[in-house]
Amino acid sequence: MTTATVSRLPGDVAFWDEFLAAVRPRLGETTKFTREEPLAAKTTIRIGGAARLYAEPGSVRDFQTLMVAAAAAGIPVFPLGRGSNLVVPDEGVAGLVLALAHEAWAGFEPRPDGLLWVGAGLRLKNLCGLAAKVGLTGFEFLEGIPGNVGGALRMNAGAMGGWMFDVVEEVRFISLDGTVRTASRAELHVDYRHCAELQTAIALGALLRPVAPTDTESVARQIDVYKKKRQESQPRDPSAGCIFKNPPGNSAGRLIDQSGLKGERVGDAEVSLIHANFIVNRGSATSADLIALVRKIRKRVDDAHGVELEPEVLLYGKEWRDVL
Ligand code: EPU
């Protein structure tokens, strides 16, 4: 059966049902594929509605099947990592969410040549811990970034003066047409919190270059230093990490703080009292609350400092410029 059998419109429940029914038989048994999957619990800020279609592909082949079928039916595809830098709209996502939750993508394989292969679904916390155990150093700064490798590549995530692409040799990714490709660091267009190629493709894994091997104790010590620093300066309540990018040469957190916004609230969305560039969910915040608060912050910081803050978190399935 092909997706040509899907004849209804995307606003129509049957459109999504028929897509699922047509594609499900072509997928492996371990691939999860569902309708109306709630997404809030799959994000760290715990906001938002359901995915019209949701899959956890268990193989490259299933990734390809799903992506090619979605493209043929005109269905947009959205990768989902750890959901740590993500705000899901209250109405959910009109598309196919592809999550790297299957164990097939959580690989951690030190190689004889000293490089390290990691799957895109591997959590940064686990990468950091496993590397420390085998004495591979250079990944300590990733401790405490609550994402996985795929999300960190897409966002070029960073902390403690380092960012993901500092340690990347090459990335394996799958494009929207289902083509799998490996690109070296030099071939990729990488910037602060951005990797151009991964805006339209999904990372499957990466080859990383550790710094020279060292003793496991000093790696563990460095991880502890970063952990302590972060625990003192960042909130533990549900959040999506830093909400805004740092403007060149400045700190969004400081600007928001200096604008008197700590504790500012819309519904259950609140500017953290600990770090002003975090919006925390105080219970049952909605994406509408969060967007209203983002608007308020941008206006106040612009009025007080003449700086237009740009959101860092993704608004899933939408563009910030359409809601701000
Ligand atoms: N500051 C304030 N008030 C606040 C928060 C910060 O005055 O409420 C001041 C601090 O005192 C400091 C300066 O602002 O002088 C910078 O703050 P911080 O050291 O916390 O760093 P940051 O620039 O706010 C960046 C990343 C974080 C990362 C930390 C630690 C961005 C947008 N943020 O924060 O990344 O964890 O450095 O390395 O690049 C993220 O991207 O989601 C994220 C949390």
174 C-alpha to center of ligand 1: Å? Answer: 33
When the pLDDT of each residue in the chain is averaged and rounded to a whole number, the result is 93
Does residue 252 contact residue 246 with C-beta atoms inside 8 Å? yes
Looking at 102-166, list the stretches that DSSP marks H as alpha helix, in order from N- to C-terminal side: 124-133, 149-155
Choosing from 103, 119, 154, the residue where a domain stops is 103
Task: Say yes or no: 83 and 168 in one domain.
Answer: no
Which residues does a 6 A CB cutoff place in the pocket of ligand 1?
Answer: 159-160, 233, 241-242, 245-246, 251-254, 257, 275-277, 312
Query: Which CATH number belongs to the domain containing residue 310 in this structure?
Result: 3.90.78.10
Choosing from 103, 127, 162, the residue where a domain stops is 103
Q: Would you state the pLDDT for residue 51? A: 97
Give pLDDT tens digits for 109-142: 999 999 999 999 999 999 999 998 888 889 988 9
Give pLDDT tens digits for 230-254: 889 999 999 999 999 999 999 999 9
Q: Would you state the pLDDT for residue 2? A: 46
Query: Which H/E stretch holds residue 241?
Result: strand 239-242
313 C-alpha to center of ligand 1: Å? Answer: 15
* Full domain range(s) for residue 64: 3-103
Query: Which CATH number belongs to the domain containing residue 142 in this structure?
Result: 3.30.465.10
Q: Would you state the pLDDT for residue 214? A: 66
Q: Tell me, yes or no, whether 128 lies in a domain.
A: yes
Tell me the residue length of the chain: 324
Task: Say yes or no: 94 and 116 in one domain.
Answer: no
199 alpha carbon, distance to own chain's centre: 11
Query: Which H/E stretch holds residue 97?
Result: strand 93-99
Q: Would you state the pLDDT for residue 74? A: 94
Number of domains making up the chain? 3
Tell which atom from ligand 1 comes closest to the C-alpha of 252: 24
> pTM for the whole thing?
0.92
189 C-alpha to center of ligand 1: Å? Answer: 24
Choosing from 53, 86, 103, the residue where a domain stops is 103
Please tell me the residue having the least CA distance from ligand 1 atom 27: 159
